[in-house]
Structure 1
Amino acid sequence: MTSTIELTSQLTNIASPTGNTFTIIDYIETLLKESNYVPKKTNKGALLVSVPGNDDHKHRFITAHVDTLGAMVRAIKPDGRLKIDLIGGFKFNAIEGEYCTVYTQNGKELTGTILMHQTSVHVYKDAGDAPRNQDNMKIRLDEKVTSKEETQKLGIQVGDFISFDPRTVITPTGFIKSRHLDDKVSVAILINFLLQLKKSGDTIPFTTHFLFSNNEEIGYGGNSNIDPRVIEYVAVDMGAMGDDQQTDEYSVSICVKDGSGPYHLSLRNHFVTLCQNNHIPYQLDIYPYYGSDASAAIRSGADIKHGLIGAGIEASHAYERTHIESIEATEKLVAAYLFSKELI
């Protein structure tokens, strides 16, 4: 478990907002090549690793996404601060007060803070009530700029990517809290499975394709590069927590339905049986405002049986948290599934 937690921490500290995931894909590619895998970059910029199994006639496909929420420079304001445009499904209040980095076209990395225009309670009567929206929130750069022209001289322009400080912390009580645990916990789980598989010399029952997708947060990350021999497609992604949810931070969440509709019943039941037979704590759940790489594949027309499992993540798309026990349960289910000897 320690290696998965440490790997999660390493991954969260590599900026990868959707549309600018090159660095993290290169990092994973190098890591897998060091273990003698032969990963391939797709035209969309994802990373695909195909692992031969005992049966090469019927295949499995499993994904986790490296891309995260982020933003772009929308405009440079007259006072030199930046108006931002969001990447991914989240609200402005989730990033209020967060440190960030702006990546310019000329290679500079400039830090700043995302703030309300009306932040100072000593000046603005509506500091607490003003809407948290694109008009009121902006980036205060850590640069000596007071005009649009001075900010432009730094090399900043519309379309520059913005990442949020992950602030990753691993607590003595077994929690890991950070931005972007969605979905870097799952990425770490799949990487660690591949590394351990290579060390053990074991062979999985079916040829399996591992996709580290890079456009999931905008809806089409894992909808391509699916071998026609693939029967089952599993997305490993965060389990959503909140009112009426069963998902917690101490078990693996098995999604039965999300915003795209129900997941494949037989595959879901297979996950449940694997958990029961292997004493893996689990929860069945519905995520009402959610979509995954697996649902994107279904929408694209893939003829597959699709499933979704993952660690329980508290406060999704904000400053998130999970526990070692949930990560461990997800790891165990991923391994039990990939070593299971029957297709559903």
Structure 2
Amino acid sequence: MAVKKTTGKTSKTTKKIDLTKYTDFIVEETLALLNIDSPTGYTEEAAAWVKKEFEKLGFKAAQTNKGGIIVDLTGKDKENGLLLEAHTDTLGGMVATIKGNGRLQLTNLGGMNPNNAETENVRVVTKFNGIYEGTFQLNNASIHVNGEYDDIKRKWDTCEVVLDEDVKTKEETEKLGVSVGDIVCFEPNARVTKSGYIKSRFLDDKLSVGILLGLAKYIKENKVTPKRALYAHITVYEEVGHGGCGSVPEGCTEAISVDMGCVGEGLTCTEKQVSICAKDSGGPYSYEIVKALTKAAIDSGADYAVDIYPHYGSDVEATLRSGNDLRHGLIGAGVYASHGYERSHRDGAENTLRLLIQYSI
């Protein structure tokens, strides 16, 4: 179901800021982060990178006990703070069984779906014996051998990781140091086209982390102080539902998830727009916040859409469910093929940044 779009045309009194260099920065940072494996539960390297990048821009960043990163983006009104949430954890897999033929049966981390993961290259991160490469394949994957290839439903127990090692038994795989509970990272295959499309697994939500880094760069280089205390929380367990449950800075009265905007049938958003979510599977977002975000989009000249996401949940909903007394909202650059091989556009990132600058500064 879609909410009728209110056009986001620039008003006559609004002068659009040139954000090209910040959008370039967002794309560069996003690509760098996409190439750091970080399935839920295996996010230490990505979180350390995020912390370092915010610190390079001159902001204080601290790691939570849970593994996320809290950034103080400065601001004046400490009693009416705004928290922006994005997440760097992604979908992935975990070794569930080492099969008799030496191959690996997986269990999913988050909403990884075997239907769109088939034939993808993977990295198996063992606990103590390094990383091995492999491919996620249908069991008996040769079409010239398997007469039922077209009819088999792709499920976690009908697919397997074929390691790129000479192993043919469970014992041989175990000798490599592979064991149950090892993390399996799927190749992101990140690229940017000449026309500005950004294609990769896990744009959800590494593109939004890049956008928040772009916002931080804008604040620093333009020497602006946000009108209210502004914080970013880069969470690491969003894909399993509890990323935003804790670590809300004192004085915050509002939290906004900066996550992917949905693109698909029945919705109005495109990859080139910023999406404002009015309602998802967890219920409506604060109507006052939705109105304020929409006004900020109009005033900033951002191209936007307002939509309802039928199958979606966000960090900020976890923040509320954990007992925080906050108003809440959700925005994000439009992303097509969510939880698959995703696609967005640099214009979508720029429009999201444009809205955030207007709204938070």
Q: TM-score range by the shorter chain?
A: over 0.9
1:342 aligned residue: none
Is the CA contact (8 Å cut-off) linking 1:174 and 1:324 kept in structure 2? yes
2:322 aligned residue: 300
Q: Which amino acid is 1:207 matched to?
A: A
Q: Which amino acid is 2:65 matched to?
A: N
Name which of structure 1's ranges 29-38 and 94-103 shifts more when overlaid on structure 2. Answer: 29-38
**Where does structure 1 lack aligned partners over 5 or more consecutive residues?**
340-344
Matched, 1:215 2:215: no
| Aligned equivalents of 1:303, 1:142: Cα separation in 2 | 51
2:310 aligned residue: 288
Q: Which amino acid is 1:330 matched to?
A: T
| Aligned equivalents of 2:156, 2:192: Cα separation in 1 | 32
CA-to-partner distance for each residue in 1:65-122, whole Å, 9 max, x for gaps?
0000001000100110000000112321020110010001115111110000132111
| Aligned equivalents of 2:110, 2:183: Cα separation in 1 | 13
1:144 aligned residue: 166
Pick from 57, 79, 92 the counterpart of residue 101 of structure 2: 79
Matched, 1:128 2:145: no
Is the CA contact (8 Å cut-off) linking 1:74 and 1:83 kept in structure 2? yes
Pick from 40, 52, 69 the counterpart of residue 47 of structure 1: 69
How far off is 1:35 after superposition?
Answer: 2.7
Q: Structure 1 length normalisation: TM-score?
A: 0.96
Pick from 336, 343, 348 the counterpart of residue 321 of structure 1: 343
CA-to-partner distance for each residue in 1:228-269, whole Å, 9 max, x for gaps?
421110000001121211121111000000010000000000
Matched, 1:58 2:80: yes
| Aligned equivalents of 1:243, 1:257: Cα separation in 2 | 16
Pick from 133, 138, 141 the counterpart of residue 116 of structure 1: 138
Percent of pairs with identical residues: 38
Give the number of aligned pairs. Answer: 339
SS of residue in 1 equivalent to 2:107: strand
Q: Which amino acid is 2:220 matched to?
A: K
Matched, 1:182 2:204: yes
| Aligned equivalents of 1:308, 1:26: Cα separation in 2 | 25
**Where does structure 2 lack aligned partners over 5 or more consecutive residues?**
1-22
How far off is 1:296 after superposition?
Answer: 0.8
RMSD of aligned Cα (Å) = 1.0
Is the CA contact (8 Å cut-off) linking 1:54 and 1:204 kept in structure 2? yes
Structure 1 residue ranges (4+ consecutive) displaced by more than 4 angstroms after TM superposition:
none
Q: Structure 2 length normalisation: TM-score?
A: 0.92
CA-to-partner distance for each residue in 1:186-229, whole Å, 9 max, x for gaps?
00000121123222221111111210000000001011111342
Q: Which amino acid is 2:32 matched to?
A: Q
| Aligned equivalents of 2:79, 2:300: Cα separation in 1 | 28
5 Å matches for 1:154-165? 154-165=176-187
Is the CA contact (8 Å cut-off) linking 1:69 and 1:180 kept in structure 2? yes
